[in-house]
Amino acid sequence: MSQSTFRRLTGLVWPVLVAQVAVVGNGVIDTMMAGRLSALDLAAVGIGAAIYVTVFVTAMGVLLALAPTVAQHYGAGRHAEIGEDVRQSAWLALVLAGLGIMLLRNPEPFIWFSHLQPAVEAQVREYLDAISWSMAPAMLFRIFYGFMTGIGRPRAIMTFNLIGLVVKVPLNAFFMFSLGMGAAGCAAATAVISWGTALLAWGWCARQPDYAEFGVFSRLTLPKPGPILALFKLGLPIGVTLLVDVTAFTFMALFVARLGPTYSAAHQIAANLTVLTFMIPLSIGHAALVLAGHALGANDPAEARHAGLAGLGVGMAVAALVSLGLWLGAERLAAAYSPDADVRAVAAGLIGIVAFYHLVDALQAVVVNVLRGYKKTTVPMLVYAFALWGVGLGGGYLLGLTDVLGPPRGAAGFWIAATLSVLLAGGVVLVYFLRISRPRHAGQDGHHRAAGP
């Protein structure tokens, strides 16, 4: 890896990492503050957030098509086309937001599946009604995210996410305690922050002369079916892939809950550590996506492959260090989460498995994002559906709750199956990347050949 590639990669990684950690921090704040009210409020926030994340992440995944599209335009010097794609993606974002609002305000399928007690159901519905107001601005902010990421300037994203994090606690306190909204107050605060960050981000962007060359605000254009359909076709597999990932973890938690509160609590500790550590390879993957997209736009498939391999090398090196820390610090980490001796004992064992899980999770996170830079999203979607739902959930059920493959292993069985499923997914997408990134597959027109499935 050249020093230039390493500097460009790390220059993109750290702002994205801080931005992602800020997003996760909002959920941590909601959980801690709801826990100070009552177990009922905490349960409502947990269930409501799980429903919201399922809807939001799927819609947001579709909009992730903008980042590789912008990156390839930028690499090719087609700056004027960036503004048009941003405007067309905004129309798509509004449609997705409308669908999301409808689902959040009519959550009967989710409520039916959860079998909630009436008191919990009432609070969950209030939470979802309040957070539905955040869908439209959140989608528009994802357009800002895709635009800034695609042109390789993610620091603005980091700044606005940090602003949202700073005001989260006082806004939560105002809605939850001063106005007495309880769990729904967390959602109301999120909605206010979403509107604030979206308006601030785009207002700031409109006033910056450095971005005038992209023509985002040069004119207002009506929806164009062709560009919108192209973005949708590229983004839908990403959205489905994220849906598979989210639901795999959701159902895994529901299955583990059958084992009792001790195992459920231990699983939550392991899952929380998984999400936190995942932010690192995810950020590296996003940076590699941008570099690969720029290279493909410039018709330099060799550099695109080099950027992908550089991201993979850095990602796996960092993941090895993180995994070692998880392995050696399993008992201390478990103790930091819970004073309960039984929960700590189970959690420490699960964290040991998470140490191996993180290694393969880092592999797939980097590679699948690089493939998005190539605009290759359909094959990864199919691979993830089979691996995470079939091997992960199916295998976890067999290993954890049945004696088909030996004595039931409980929560550990689900994490073992999850590790194997992510290893399978990561291995397949790695082979796919190595095959499609060969210069002869990129052809003479890197932008054209990179737009396939």
371-393 residues labelled b (16+ CB within 10 A) or e (exposed): bbbbbbbbbbbebbbbbbeebbb
Interatomic CA distance for residues 197 and 86, integer angstroms: 18
Residue type, 267: H
Of 95, 105, 75, nearest to 140 (Cα)?
95
Predicted pLDDT at 445 = 40
CB 266 within 8 A of CB 415: no
Predicted pLDDT at 275 = 85
Interatomic CA distance for residues 175 and 160, integer angstroms: 21
Interatomic CA distance for residues 280 and 283, integer angstroms: 5
Which phi and psi angles does 411 have, rounded to 5°?
A: -60, -35
CB 69 within 8 A of CB 85: yes
- In eight-state DSSP terms, residue 171 is H
Q: Structure tokens of 77? A: 């010097």
Interatomic CA distance for residues 220 and 199, integer angstroms: 17
CA 312 remoteness from chain centre: 18
Which phi and psi angles does 371 have, rounded to 5°?
A: -60, -35
Rounded (10°) CA dihedral 383, 388, 391, 392: 160
**What's the predicted TM-score (pTM) here?**
0.83
- In eight-state DSSP terms, residue 329 is T
Interatomic CA distance for residues 354 and 357, integer angstroms: 5
DSSP per position, 243-280: HHHHHHHHHHHHHHHTT-HHHHHHHHHHHHHHHHHHHH
The tens place of each residue's pLDDT in the chain, 453 residues long, gives: 666 777 788 888 888 889 888 888 888 788 778 767 776 777 777 778 878 888 999 999 999 999 999 999 999 999 989 999 999 999 999 999 999 999 999 988 877 766 667 887 888 899 999 999 999 999 999 999 999 999 988 899 999 999 999 999 999 999 999 998 988 999 999 999 999 999 999 999 999 998 888 988 988 889 999 999 999 999 999 999 988 988 888 788 778 777 877 777 788 788 888 888 999 999 999 999 999 999 999 999 999 999 999 999 999 999 999 999 999 999 998 888 777 788 889 889 999 999 999 999 999 999 999 999 999 999 999 999 999 999 998 998 899 888 888 888 888 999 999 999 999 999 999 999 999 998 764 443 444 444 445
Three-state SS for 403? coil
Geometric angle at alpha carbon 233, from 83 and 57, rounded to 5°: 85
Predicted pLDDT at 449 = 40
Radius of gyration of the chain measured on its C-alpha atoms:
22
Query: Dihedral of CA 303/304/306/310: which sign?
Result: positive
CB 55 within 8 A of CB 100: yes
Interatomic CA distance for residues 385 and 397, integer angstroms: 16
Interatomic CA distance for residues 238 and 89, integer angstroms: 15
